Amino acid sequence: MPKPNQTLGEFIIENQADFPGSSGELSRLINSIRLAAKVVNHEVNKAGLVDIIGAYGERNVQGEEQQKLDVMANKKFIQTLTNREIVCGIASEEEDDFIRIEGHNGDDKNKYVLLMDPLDGSSNIDVNVSVGTIFSIYQRVTPIGTPVQMEDFLQPGNKQVAAGYIIYGTSTMLVYTTGHGVNGFTLNPALGSWYLSHPNMKYPENGRIYSINEGNYVHFPQGVKDYIKYCQEEKDDRPYTSRYIGSMVSDIHRNMIKGGIFMYPQFSKAPSGKLRLLYECNPIAFITEQAGGKASDGFQRILDIVPNELHQRSPFFCGSKKMVEKAENFMRKSA
């Protein structure tokens, strides 16, 4: 049972029993993530002071202009996990291919793979708006002791063993699940410790916030246009409030606490939407379901999609259960 003001370290030890027969590897992995998160937090916090804002000068495999902090966060997470030989492989939004981590004996003995969006919301870095990190963990499917393979990464989201996000906001939080509910920890920067500040997080079943980049309105599918009109209609508890930060982690975090829906649909310029299934949609969908919410591509459960490539994208509708169901109804009606 989560106890308020417990530290993350205490929480991890106390909840190890959630994994009967576990060797403690997953706990060590979460420990390494909290360490990397502190390092990235430190860098993000001084972004206005040192030469770390702005473009890095290269494009990533997604076709996006990389920011210096994208590259830095990617490096810090990979370094921390590689040094601790805690996973057998890492895939990242910022890397073209997955990285094999063979361990110092070259024995490929670790059983988990990590997939991540090292810095979510890069366009907000230069303007001092919250950004985040998202991570997703699976057990490998190929035999331990052999080099990690693509199939270890291309698993449907329902096979995740853990997922989480870090939000570098007005305070820094780490929110994660291992399939036994969702817990949020806040960093006390003076002590460098994470405290359980949000035990057992739950989405309100319904909400009044909708989050979508309405600048793309004319290109949206009819179902999304209809749902937006529904949100804006003067009836019952509507019109709803529109909130869109442009850092998915921050938009999701707010909606999970207050009740709301986040949407990044497909549209003419982006036929599968923009968000990456493996680094963004799946981990957030796992957390969302564990918090009693719903995550869909407009028609089917995100966690049941079987991926066929690392950087695959998916339309994303995520949030309070009733709101996502409503949006799905509009999508179905005009399909």
Task: Please report, as ranges, the residues that interact with Mn ion according to CB under 5 A.
Answer: 64, 93, 117, 119-120
Which residues in 87-106 contact ligand AHG (CB under 6 A)?
93
Report residue 170 as tokens. 């007005």
Report residue 252 as tokens. 């999701």
Which residues are annotated binding-site positions for Mg(2+)?
A: 93, 117, 119-120, 280
Which residues are annotated binding-site positions?
A: 93, 117, 119-123, 213, 244, 274, 280
* Gap between the Cα atoms of 213 and 233, Å rounded: 18
Under the criterion CB under 6 A, does residue 328 sit at the interface with ligand AHG? no
Under the criterion CB under 6 A, does residue 6 sit at the interface with ligand AHG? no
Pick the stretch among 114-122, 172-180, 184-192, 231-239 that binds ligand AHG (CB under 6 A). Answer: 114-122
Min dist CB 142 to ligand AHG, Å, is 28
User: By rule CB under 6 A, what string of x and - marks binding of each residue 190-219 to ligand AHG?
Assistant: -----------------------x------
Q: Quick one: which of 77, 87, 84 has its CA closest to 110?
A: 87
Residue type, 213: N
Min dist CB 93 to ligand AHG, Å, is 6
Under the criterion CB under 6 A, does residue 226 sit at the interface with ligand AHG? no
**CB-based burial, 114-126: b 16+ in 10 Å, e otherwise:** bbbbbbbbbebbe
Pick the stretch among 30-38, 161-169, 240-248, 291-299 that binds ligand AHG (CB under 6 A). Answer: 240-248
Q: Exposed, middle or buried: residue 156 (CB in 10 Å: 0-12, 13-18, 19+)?
A: middle
Under the criterion CB under 6 A, does residue 248 sit at the interface with ligand AHG? yes
User: Where do contacts with ligand AHG occur on this chain (CB under 6 A)?
Assistant: 64, 93, 117, 120-122, 213, 246-248, 274
